Amino acid sequence: MWSKYKMFLTMVFYSMLRRKTRLFITLLAVAVGATIISGMVTVYREVPAQMSRAFRAYGANLLVLPSGERTEVSDERLKEIRESLSEYEIVGIAPFLYDTMAVNKQPVIVGGTDFEELQKVSPYWQLEGEYPRAGEKEVLLGAEFAQKLGAKKGSSVTMSAGEGKAVQNYTVSGIVRTGGKEEQLAYVPLAQLQRMTGRKGAVSLAQVSVVADGDRLEEAVAKVAAGTRDVTPQLVKQIAHSEGTVLGKLQALVLLVTIVVLVLTLICVTTTMMAVVTERRKEIGLKKALGADNRDVVLEFLGNGCLLGAFGGVAGTGLGYLFAQSVSLHVFGRGIEFSPMIAAFSLVLSIVITGLASLVPVRIATSVDPAIVLRGE
Amino acid sequence: MSLLELKDVSMEYNGKVKALEHINLSVEQGDWVAIMGPSGSGKTTLMNIIGCMDTATGGSVVLDGVDITNASRPELMRIRRDKIGMVFQQFHLIPYLTAVENVMVAQYYHSMPDREEAIAALARVGVAERADHLPSQLSGGEQQRVCIARALINYPVLILADEPTGNLDEANQNLVMQIFRELHDEGHTILTVTHSPEVGAAAERCVVIEHGHMKAQ
């Protein structure tokens, strides 16, 4: 029986290997399809993670507020928040303390924050000048408030926590534009505001930017709620919702392109396989004249198709990963990991597609009349 | 009982074109019969019927005791595989298989491939040393000898040869005819279709067909 299998494999292998031009063209058709499918599936899977990171440029997606009647929490809670989210990729956690102060005798809400974290959480803030340096008497003014004061970068302003409190001179380190309420406020380093207002160690809220979308973000909220005392975490719904919508549409687009490519590959491979059948018509006729039945012909062509699918699938899966890697590096600026699951899926899909694409040509092959070998066609 | 018996065989295409009319032919075991005639005379149609690749629309055909007149396509395939060895004018070797693999293909569809036996068949026609060459590496004469080895490998009761020397030079023609003579001497039954008077003359009996009718026997 072995020699029968061996002969079958000999015919299937050599019908391709000893006809290199045809093999190359067919393999190219399968490999291109497999490359795009494997690449697109990788991109489809990676898009949510990559886009989630990209969305972090649009601000925090999680707000942590004092729970119940509290108006502030201890800044010790920031560590607990970080620990609760240890399994997530945290972009930044920016604490904020808000209090009303007089700047150049004008009442204004002043925010105290960690500017290093703020830049990670809200990279969209447009700054003219510099962020205040820790330990220096520097203040960042919102553009609207700066205009009200007539202050510019480098101007000197007075700051006081209220009537009867000490008045201190500060230098305007920069003016910030956000297109939001932040432009009406002034900002100083957190520790300075805590000192000036006598609220040492207090924080009004924390803005958290974490790489997660949809359900995973909901999970993150639950983890913070469970792992941190005295706080109520809230989703920034506007951001989370927009993220979900854009991601959904993007994934749908990638899926659509993948399906279109799949259909095109099927057509392309079918056409190539039909050309192979036409080219091998005489050979099929000969085999039938020698005693091959339709089952033999079907098995040989399906064997050919599956083998082509396997070869093309292996080449295409490798190239597809490189394609997805290149897309990811160029579009998102980050690489992606090789996924054995996608590789296996792509390989199996290539074999199935080539097998399916062989069905019509195989049907044509079985209809070849053995008498053509006597007609000298 | 004759090995091959054609009685009043006719063949019509689409009920209009009459390719063969009232053909009667009897071939005994060990005979060598040549079928001759001009192009379009019906030789190929007759070969198709005898070679179990088509069925006659009239009359009866019995091969080795089996009535193949109304056989179905699968039945014809089995009879062709088990009883007939074919030699073609254009050799029809599978281009991506070596000489010995081409012989083994016939074994594969018949029963079980056996390399030793295939080599022996090639040795029988004098091309054993070319066993591992592809058809493109063989001369026309060598290719035709491989084709004969393939026709012999399953011990057929009838060797059907379609213009076996049609594509060969004189030296190779002589070589192939010598093999046919030896096969005939060994008792093989051979039916050749040919234009060549030399091939026709080598046969024991010559049948001439013109416009679908048997003219002489």
Q: Does some domain include residue A276?
A: yes
Cβ atoms of residues A45 and A339 within 8 Å:
yes
Instruction: Please write the tens of the pLDDT for every residue from B38-80.
Output: 888 888 889 989 999 888 999 999 999 999 998 898 899 999 9
Chain B CB contacts of A292 under 8 Å are 77, 109
Question: What is the structure's pLDDT at A376?
Answer: 57
Cα torsion A361, A363, A367, A373: sign:
positive
**Token pair 């000999």 in the structure block, residue:** A10
Q: First and final CA of chain B: distance in angstroms?
A: 19
B77/A376 touch (CB, cutoff 8 Å), yes or no: no
Do both A32 and A13 map to the same domain? yes
Q: Does some domain include residue A240?
A: no
Q: Which of B94, B98, B107, B112 to mutate to test the interface with A (most CBs of A within 10 A)?
A: B94
Q: Does some domain include residue A97?
A: yes
Q: Does some domain include residue A143?
A: yes
Q: Mean pLDDT of all residues in chain B?
A: 92
B159: phi then psi, degrees, rounded to nearest 5: -100, 120
Q: What is the DSSP letter of A132?
A: P
Query: Is B189 a residue whose pLDDT tops 90?
Result: yes
B51: phi then psi, degrees, rounded to nearest 5: -80, 10
Q: What is the least distance, in Å, from the CA of A334 to any CA of chain B?
A: 48
Do both A175 and A300 map to the same domain? no
Considering only CB atoms, B101 lies closest to which of A1, A10, A373, namely A10
Strand partners, A157: A170
Q: What is the DSSP letter of A150?
A: T
Do both A283 and A211 map to the same domain? no
Instruction: Please write the tens of the pLDDT for every residue from B74-126.
Output: 899 999 999 999 999 889 999 999 999 999 999 999 999 999 999 999 999 99
Q: In whole angstroms, what is the distance from residue A10 CA to residue A13 CA?
A: 5
Do both A87 and A179 map to the same domain? yes
Total number of residues shown for chain B? 217
Bridging pattern class, strands A231-235 and A62-66: antiparallel
B79–A contact, CB cutoff 8 A:
no
Q: Where are the domains of chain B?
A: 4-216
Question: What is the structure's pLDDT at B127?
Answer: 94
Q: What is the least distance, in Å, from the CA of B181 to any CA of chain A?
A: 23
Question: Which of these three, A235, A257, A292, is where a domain ends?
Answer: A235
Q: Mean pLDDT of all residues in chain A?
A: 85
A6–B contact, CB cutoff 8 A:
yes
Query: Is A270 a residue whose pLDDT tops 60?
Result: yes
Cβ atoms of residues A313 and A34 within 8 Å:
yes
B53/A369 touch (CB, cutoff 8 Å), yes or no: yes
A10/B54 touch (CB, cutoff 8 Å), yes or no: no
Cβ atoms of residues A89 and A52 within 8 Å:
no
Q: Identify which has the larger pLDDT, A328 or B58.
A: B58
Q: In whole angstroms, what is the distance from residue A370 CA to residue B102 CA?
A: 17
Instruction: Please write the tens of the pLDDT for every residue from B7-40.
Output: 999 999 887 888 899 999 999 999 999 999 888 8
Do both A214 and A347 map to the same domain? no
Bridging pattern class, strands A89-103 and A106-113: antiparallel
Do both A178 and A266 map to the same domain? no
State the complex-level ipTM.
Answer: 0.91
Cβ atoms of residues A33 and A317 within 8 Å:
no
B113/A4 touch (CB, cutoff 8 Å), yes or no: yes
Which tokens sit at B171? 């030296």
Do both A39 and A119 map to the same domain? no
Residue of A168, A224, A196 whose CA lies nearest to A111: A196
Do both A84 and A169 map to the same domain? yes
The residue of chain B nearest to residue A18, with distances taken between CA atoms, is B96
Query: Is A2 a residue whose pLDDT tops 90?
Result: no
Do both A96 and A197 map to the same domain? yes
Name the CATH topology of B4-216: Rossmann fold (3.40.50)
Considering only CB atoms, B109 lies closest to which of A15, A287, A374, namely A287
Show the domain range for A323: 2-53+245-375
B86/A19 touch (CB, cutoff 8 Å), yes or no: no
Do both A299 and A184 map to the same domain? no
A288–B contact, CB cutoff 8 A:
yes
Do both A208 and A251 map to the same domain? no
B76–A contact, CB cutoff 8 A:
no
Do both A181 and A115 map to the same domain? yes
Instruction: Please write the tens of the pLDDT for every residue from A248-266.
Output: 888 888 888 888 888 888 8
- Domain total in chain A: 2
Residue A43: pLDDT band (50, 70, 90) is confident
Query: Is A1 a residue whose pLDDT tops 70?
Result: no
